[in-house]
Structure 1
Amino acid sequence: MGLFDDDFYSTKVSRRARSTSSRDEFAFSNKKGIRSWSNVQVAFVASFTSAAAVLLLFVLVFGGGGLDIGSSAASVSASGSNSLEQRTIQASAKVRPAVVSVINEQTVPYGLLPDTGKSDGQAEGGTAEEGQLSGSKQEVGVGSGVIYKLKDGKAYIITNNHVIAGAESVKVMLVNGEKREARIVGSDQITDLAVLEMDGKDIKTVAQIGQSSKLQPAEFVLAIGNPLGLGDSLSMGIVSKTHRVVPVSLNEDGVYDWQQEVIQVNVSINEGNSGGPLIDMDGKVVGINSMKIAEVGVEGLGFAIPIDNAMPVIDSLMDKGYVSRPYLGVYTVDLEQYFAQKNMDGQAAAGDGTTEQGQGATPGGEATDLPELNLPDEVFEGVIVLEAVGPAQEAGIKLNDVIVKLDDKSISSTMELRQYLYEEKHIGDEIKVTYYRGGKLKTASFKLAEKTKDE
């Protein structure tokens, strides 16, 4: 039995029905004064009348509100172009020509060249001497960037600070494979942002800057960049959390000394994606891809710097080459680390007089390299001054002083010291530093200076 194989949908008419219909038509057509209508005409009039009645009833009940047949038809016909697939294609097409690969070049010692199996000296037809520099620059890292501005014949690129850190020269590869020399306009370690400048000849596409504040959880986003050196690569996912604060180690020594506000996404962010754009479905940049959690068993944890946070930094880098911040003038280490190291040294000395590496304690069991701070027993938190320069030095702060307060804010770590300075204070503000020296509590008050590029 077919889908419509029943009496209701049957197009067959029985012989009895046909004969009855013929008699009716004959009788109707012979009535005096009445025009003969065919069945088709009668059906058409009935249908039109019914439709008019329905329309009139709709207008009476709903007042005609929202009745726009033309716009409804247009929306239906355009529905195909509003699909997620089409929006993804259109969004990426807007930005891809503006995404570049950023190549960090540095002079490397003699050794095996990548993919050659030969030493630098052998590759150049000479001989390599141990420890001597080859004098040629090699590609030591590749990241991503996005062209966001064209001005006076120059193209300006946003990328990460860690992508160009230590670079002696920087090259940029366009989406068509062309390489160009680039200049570092400015960089900022704290926010992990940098700006590059290159020749803007034939550059037609500039990425549009969006608003990260408008992002919502579960919203679709795209990451564009150069993962693992593959170039011009797209990955897609959703916003997992619009505002996440993660601790970072600015010196990459494993000690967290800053907190970064980021957008958390489940988009694939791999080595080489750093510095590339995170875009929304309108093709606008809402973040700069920066980092991921790279641990065994961890997947789908990528992070991007919100573009709303990035643009003031980018503007400062364009204007000055660095980010203007209040400057205290101390290099510090957390007191917690001091106690942890002292405890390790004490345990090693209590064993056989040496540490596991053979350093850190003398044969007599006394710890080396760690100064005696003579702090009161109740003091466990603060930061130790390793070096004082600028305003702090002029105010009399010295090596091994232990800072425990800035103004009335207790300071337990370098992270908290930076946060208080950068978030609560301004250049030229007066600040009171409370610290211990030789077990005695002291204070010093002075004005914060401006942190320059060199500092």
Structure 2
Amino acid sequence: MGLFDDDFYSTRVRRRSRYWPRGSSRALGLRPGSTLRIALISSLTSSVLVAALFLLWGGGGRSPEPESMPAIAGGQSYVETSERIISASEKVRPAVVSIINLTTQALELQEAGDFEEGELPYNTSMGSGVIFKKQGDKAYIITNAHVIQDAGEIQAVLVGGERKKATIVGKDIITDLAVLEVGSDGINTVVELGHSDKLRVGEMVIAIGNPLGFGDSLTQGIVSSTKRIIPVSINQDGNYDWEQEVIQTDAAINQGNSGGALVDLNGKLVGINSMKVADRGVEGIGFAIPIDQAVPVLNALMEKGKVSRPYLGVYTMSLGYYLDGIEMNGLDDPDEEEGSEDTGEPREETDGEAFEPAEPVVPKGVTKGVIVLEAVGPSLDAGLKFNDIIIALDSTAIGSTLDLRKYLYHSKKIGDSLKVTYYRDGKKHTLDVKLTEKADAQE
């Protein structure tokens, strides 16, 4: 007899156990059918455990994707970015027009019957524009001033192909901006202005315009620089007489894109395409005028048809060009938008004979400044003369025509007094000039 009354701890062996093989279920004390139940329970337990581990380790109830889309900065997929480009272009394209400039020469050829109806003369120029305002029965278009240069007749071609005759509201060649006016019938889209100051290097942008006459053309790229400073030859005579702050982008900008829209992926206008570096071996460098800088100019053009700036009234050339032996074949006017032109004729005549002007007297050691080629208006009234060499305005040294123009436009206002330091016949002098607004007759 065992120490305990129950069979669990008993040393006795049941008589029936001898009939079952060792290791069988009956030998283990299991009844028939127990094995199947254990297998089912084990299978269910394993399934529950696997599901719990999947949820715990980030399954989150989401179905696994066979392939994940590559992402760009900010977590946006390429598919999402492509859709934003499409949406932005659909939003802006109806507000972008092609500009056809029938120059005076082109009109003469057309009137002479040298071209069939609908055929454009060979010297017709083309560009782009952006509808930025609609008021009553008029709509207003931004473009570049150089796009409408020497215009005889200007036409704006809408995205649907309709042509409208345009008139010039105003232009400013310093900033290369102009505003055109057309009838508003058929125009339902006006571009939304963005903020160029909020652009970031690397941000994707879209250029829309009329390159090479292919209207309603779209290219994309990134912002390479938000504030690139480049020198500009306003009169295209090879002499730099202004500096422009521009947006640099690698979006393809070709001939005809000038005046078109540079927009962000929200479909907002951030720049006006203006220039392209197209030298040999250079690609992917385009420039646009920042819209935040353009808006004050556009407002002035809408209000007065021009941008009023302080007027000194001197035709000059940089002293450095003279000292380097450069001929005076393109005279820069630092404060006349249209500049001046050397006709090759003598400046004065005496008794019917040509008079050759005297050379300026350049003091020893003076290498920077501007030579006065002609004084008119305020500078003439103050006493400046031909061959005077201006070396400073107020207390700011002036080394070139570019320096003179930048100081006038950035530091002075109409009505201000300006102290001019100059050399005449080798001797230093100073005088005061009261800056005025240029009269329309002086344009």
Compute the TM-score of the two structures, normalised by the length of structure 2.
0.76
Equivalent in the alignment of 1:6:
none
**Structure 2 SS opposite 1:83:** helix
The answer to whether 1:405 aligns with 2:392 is: yes
SS in 1 for 2:151: coil
386-395 or 300-309, larger mean C-alpha shift:
386-395
The answer to whether the Cα contact below 8 Å between 2:194 and 2:270 also exists between their aligned partners in 1 is: yes
Partner of 1:416: 403
Which shifted more, 368-377 or 198-207?
A: 368-377
Deviations for 1:29-61, whole angstroms, at most 9, x for unmatched residues? 978xxxx8994x886677567767887999xxx
**Which whole-Å deviations, capped at 9, do the CAs of 1:254-286 have from their partners, x for residues lacking one?**
111111111111121111000001111111111
Measured in 1, the distance between the counterparts of 2:131 and 2:31 equals 81
- Give the structure 1 partner of residue 101 of structure 2: 104
CA RMSD of aligned residues (A): 3.8
2:183 is the counterpart of 1:199 = yes
Kindly state the Cα deviation for residue 87 of structure 1 after the two structures are TM-superposed.
1.6
1:255 to 239, 246, 249: 239
Q: Who is 2:147 aligned against?
A: 163
- DSSP 3-state at the match of 2:384: coil
Q: Give the Cα–Cα distance (whole angstroms) in 2 for the partners of residues 341 and 369 of structure 1.
A: 17
Secondary structure, aligned partner of 2:222: strand
1:99-118 CA-partner distances (Å, limit 9, x unpaired): 101111222289987xxxxx
Specify whether residues 401 and 44 from structure 1 end up closer, same or farther in structure 2 by C-alpha distance, changes over 3 A only: farther
Q: In structure 1, what is the Cα distance between the partners aligned to 2:418 and 2:220?
A: 47
Report the Cα offset of residue 451 of structure 1. Answer: 3.6
After superposition, the C-alpha distances for 1:149-174 in whole angstroms (9 at most, x for unaligned) are: 11122111111000011112211001
Output one character per residue of 1:146-200: Cα deviation in whole Å (capped at 9) or x when no partner. Answer: 1111112211111100001111221100111110011111110100001111111
Aligned AA for 1:176? G
SS in structure 2 opposite 1:381? Answer: coil
Shift of 1:449: 1.7
Q: Quote the sequence identity (%).
A: 52
| Equivalent position of 1:295 in the other structure | 279
1:92 partnered with 2:89: yes
Query: CA shift at 1:327, angstroms?
Result: 1.6
Task: Describe the SS at the equivalent of 2:124.
Answer: strand
> 2:158 is aligned with what amino acid?
L
Question: Secondary structure at 1:423's aligned position in 2?
Answer: helix
CA contact (8 A) 1:106 1:138 kept: no
Q: How many residues align?
A: 383
Distance 1:206 1:44 in 2: 65
Partner of 1:433: 420
Q: Please give the per-residue CA displacement for 1:393-451, whole angstroms capped at 9, x wherever unaligned.
A: 22111222211110011111110001111111222222101112222221111322224
* 1:214 lines up with 2:198 in the alignment: yes
C-alpha displacement at 1:381, in angstroms?
A: 1.4
Counterpart of 1:62 in structure 2 is: none
Larger Rg: 2
Q: 1:81·1:87 contact (CA, 8 Å) conserved in 2?
A: no
CA distance in 1, matches of 2:60, 2:316: 69
Cα 1:447–1:85 change in 2 (3 A) is same
Per the alignment, in what secondary structure is the counterpart of residue 321 of structure 2?
Answer: helix
Contact 1:256–1:415 at 8 Å: present in 2 too?
yes
Change in Cα spacing, 1:202 to 1:399, as seen in structure 2 (3 Å) is same
Among 298, 314, 328, the residue aligned to 2:312: 328
Give distance in 2, aligned partners of 1:277 and 1:84: 19
- The 2-side partners of 1:343 and 1:145 are apart by 38
Matched, 1:226 2:213: no
Partner SS, residue 325 of structure 2? helix
Distance, in Å, in 2 between the alignment partners of 1:318 and 1:194 is 10
Aligned residue number for residue 12 of structure 1:
none
Judged with a 3 Å threshold, the aligned counterparts in structure 2 of structure 1 residues 86 and 403 are, in CA distance, closer, same or farther, namely: same
**Which residue is equivalent to 2:125?**
141
- Name the SS of the counterpart of 1:341 in structure 2: coil
Identify unmatched segments of 5+ residues in structure 1.
1-19, 59-66, 114-118, 125-135, 345-358, 361-367
Q: Deviations along 1:115-147, whole A, 9 cap, x unmatched?
A: xxxx946669xxxxxxxxxxx998621100011
Q: Which amino acid aligns with 2:430?
A: T
Query: Quick one: which of 256, 267, 282 aligns to 1:272?
Result: 256
The TM-score normalised by the length of structure 1 is 0.74
Structure 2 alignment gaps of length 5 or more = 1-22, 70-74, 329-344, 347-354
Q: How far did residue 387 of structure 1 move?
A: 2.2
Q: 2:253 aligns to what SS in structure 1?
A: coil
Contact 1:107 1:137 in 2 (8 A): no
Alignment counterpart, residue 389 of structure 1, candidates 344, 355, 376: 376
Q: Judge conservation of contact 1:207–1:284 (CA < 8 Å) in 2.
A: yes
Partner SS state of residue 312, structure 1: helix
**2:143 aligned partner, one-letter code:** T
